[in-house]
Amino acid sequence: MKNSTRIILNTAAQYIRTILHILLSFISIRLVLNALGADDYGIYTLIAGVTAMLSFVTQALVTTTQRFMSYYQGQNEPQKMKLFFTNSLLLHIFIGIIFSCVLFLITPLLFNGFLNVSIARIHAAKIVYYIVIAILFVTFCTAPYRALLVSHENIIYISIIDVLDGILKVVLVLILQYVSHDKLIIYGLIMLSIHFFNFFTMSIYASRKYEECVLPNFNHFNIRFFKDLFSFAIWTIYGTGCVVIRTQGLAIVVNKFFSTVANAAYGIGLQVSGAVSTISVALLNAMRPQIVKAEGGGLHEKALMLATSLCRYSLILLSAFCIPCIYEMPSLLILWLKDVPEYTVLFARMALIASLADTLTLGLNTYCEAIGRIKKYNLIIFSLKLLTLPIAILLLTIKVEPIVIAITYIGMEILTSIIRLPFLKQLGNLKIFTFIKDVIGRTIIPILLSIFVCHIITNRFDFEFRFLLTFSASILLFCTSIIFCGLTNQEKTLLKKLLKK
């Protein structure tokens, strides 16, 4: 199968998966919010956020494992692939045990005044906290198998599992409505059972399909491979850690300065952004292995070309949905939730605009990972992202409005997105003017047209289900203009061939 065809099929699979997952996610969140109430849902969001501050380690190790597996696939080194996978699996289990123990030991610190949880719900909150620790460990054990599937570009199977994950959440949350026991605890157990489902479906399938996927074996432990993994992972952990600590740290800051209801608003805002952002993440997962394989095979120009295309495609896909979402956010949230917690519209819009700014140069992250020289890059780029948190704390102590926090959050994303360009010029010979022409130059007109039509509709019309008109007009105009302005001649020819088929 040709690389371009594989990218299209994998992206289409994840695109379908994303649409289904968004619908299922919105349904399940609505059901959970109704079943638990804003306070209990805020408690779960807060507790899950505390442990999520450490789950970035899993994300970093997934990226590390996938990077090395794809790199040696590009070099056609099956034996090294097996050794890297085994050592990665051992590393995941070891770090999972360490962090689970640390989280368990700090329980008294968290629940003796640090977290703003009512006394009546402390017992249930502690039980949910222990459940979430178990979820974190299962996630650690699942990560190498997901990374292996991604490195082999088996996106279709991953998409199927993710859709089944969403269906299970809806089905089990429907059952939650009829449970007489503490619903917050039951909801935590539901989430744990679904994570076990993901682990077994991915590990069993990968073990049967791929030769390099073997059970943990200390005889395969190799100190050099382990050091390579650890060295790359430590800076990836720092980068993803800065992002997660900023995001979840803001949740704790919101909790300390406002209430658990405000936490619910912040959590819902992130859910909306996360659901929409999976559209561009789908493309990232489809193209990342080919970028790394190209670099591993010594095809540096091809890797850079793919990374630039990834930036443009991601921005196109995300803009098509984000722009009408931003304009119609109030009506969408009312339709979805009925009773919308205060600040939810603000936080949702903030997260979407920040995602757009980050996506503009996000593909360059993958190119930097493919090159392998990430120490200086991650130290500066992600430290700037983390700086959002202390700035927010400082602003809130002087009693500013929440919108100032949102502006700060967006501003830092724009700054880091711009700074990536000179870094990749130095590390990977990126031609900045060519990049701007290929990415911004080809997308600016469609984006401006989409903003214009959304602004006109939302300011001139006011009727029930107006968002259908906004989305239809915006996406139609956006897609039409992308065909004329956003695609290269080669891409237009490929699109014509696909349409003929």
pLDDT in tens, 108-143: 877 776 766 777 777 877 888 888 888 888 988 888
Average pLDDT for 444-460: 92
User: 165 versus 286: which is more confidently predicted?
Assistant: 165
User: Could you give the percent of the chain with pLDDT greater than 90?
Assistant: 10
Phi, psi of 75 (to 5 degrees): -95, 0
SS3 state of residue 259: coil
Model confidence at 498, in pLDDT bands (50, 70, 90)?
low
Residue 201 has pLDDT above 90, yes or no: yes
Span 296-338, pLDDT tens digits: 777 888 888 888 888 888 888 888 888 998 999 888 888 877 7
Query: Which structure tokens are listed for 109?
Result: 């610190």
Residue 92 has pLDDT above 80, yes or no: yes
Both 84 and 229 in one domain: the answer is yes
Q: Which of 176, 207, 154 is nearest to 14 (CA)?
A: 154
Task: Identify which of 280-284, 428-432, 447-451 has the greatest average pLDDT.
Answer: 447-451
Both 386 and 376 in one domain: the answer is yes
Both 9 and 109 in one domain: the answer is yes
Both 464 and 348 in one domain: the answer is no
Do 422 and 432 form a contact (C-beta atoms < 8 A)? yes
Both 314 and 176 in one domain: the answer is yes
State how far the Cα of 455 lies from the Cα of 79, in Å rounded to an integer: 57
Average pLDDT for 51-76: 74
Helical pair 432-460 and 402-428, crossing angle rounded to 10 deg: 160
Both 388 and 474 in one domain: the answer is no
**Pick from 380, 415, 430: which residue ends a domain?**
430
Helical pair 122-151 and 155-176, crossing angle rounded to 10 deg: 160
Residue 322 backbone zone (phi > 0: left; psi -120 to 50: alpha; other: beta): alpha
Q: Which DSSP string corresponds to 46-77?
A: HHHHHHHHHHHHHHHHHHHHHHHHHHHHHTT-
SS3 state of residue 311: helix
Both 456 and 326 in one domain: the answer is no
Q: What is the pLDDT of residue 305?
A: 87
Q: How far is CA 152 from CA 14, 84, 279, in A?
A: 15, 14, 20
Residue 256 has pLDDT above 80, yes or no: no
Do 83 and 215 form a contact (C-beta atoms < 8 A)? no
The one-letter code for the residue type at 464 is E
Q: Using alpha carbons only, what angle is made at residue 207 by residues 206 and 213, rounded to the nearest 5 degrees?
A: 90
Both 363 and 407 in one domain: the answer is yes
**Pick from 375, 408, 430: which residue ends a domain?**
430
Phi, psi of 341 (to 5 degrees): -60, 150
Q: Which of 207, 352, 339 is nearest to 271 (CA)?
A: 352
The one-letter code for the residue type at 335 is L
SS3 state of residue 342: coil
Model confidence at 79, in pLDDT bands (50, 70, 90)?
confident
Residue 3 has pLDDT above 60, yes or no: no
Rg (Cα) of the chain, in Å, rounded?
A: 22
How does DSSP classify residue 326?
A: H
Average pLDDT for 226-247: 82
Count of domains forming the chain: 2
Q: Where are the beta strands (DSSP E) in 273-346?
A: none
SS3 state of residue 151: helix
Phi, psi of 339 (to 5 degrees): -95, 105
Q: What is the pLDDT of residue 494?
A: 66
Both 101 and 155 in one domain: the answer is yes
Do 166 and 28 form a contact (C-beta atoms < 8 A)? yes
Q: What is the pLDDT of residue 453?
A: 93
Sorted by sequence, the CB contacts under 8 Å of residue 401 that are 6+ apart come out as none
Both 373 and 441 in one domain: the answer is no
Length of the chain: 501
Average pLDDT for 269-284: 73
Q: Which of 306, 308, 311, 278 is nearest to 293 (CA)?
A: 306
How does DSSP classify residue 153?
A: T
Q: What is the pLDDT of residue 261?
A: 67
State how far the Cα of 318 lies from the Cα of 360, in Å rounded to an integer: 10
Domain span at 454: 432-501
Q: Which DSSP string corresponds to 96-134?
A: HHHHHHHHHHTHHHIIIIIS---GGGHHHHHHHHHHHHH
**Pick from 430, 449, 472: which residue ends a domain?**
430
Both 28 and 105 in one domain: the answer is yes
Query: Which structure tokens are listed for 223?
Result: 């100190």
Span 482-497, pLDDT tens digits: 888 777 777 677 666 6
Do 260 and 42 form a contact (C-beta atoms < 8 A)? yes
Do 388 and 249 form a contact (C-beta atoms < 8 A)? no
Span 147-170, pLDDT tens digits: 888 888 787 888 888 888 888 888
Both 336 and 288 in one domain: the answer is yes
State how far the Cα of 367 lies from the Cα of 428, in Å rounded to an integer: 8
Q: What is the pLDDT of residue 323?
A: 92
SS3 state of residue 166: helix
Span 360-411, pLDDT tens digits: 888 888 888 888 788 888 889 999 999 988 988 888 888 777 788 888 889 9
State how far the Cα of 97 lies from the Cα of 242, in Å rounded to an integer: 22
Residue 450 has pLDDT above 80, yes or no: yes
Residue 351 has pLDDT above 80, yes or no: yes
Sorted by sequence, the CB contacts under 8 Å of residue 486 that are 6+ apart come out as 312, 316, 442, 443, 446
Query: Which structure tokens are listed for 113?
Result: 């005044």
Do 61 and 92 form a contact (C-beta atoms < 8 A)? yes
Q: Residue holding tokens 């996630």?
A: 139
Q: How far is CA 36 from CA 21, 66, 236, 487, in A?
A: 21, 38, 36, 47
Name the average pLDDT for the chain. 81
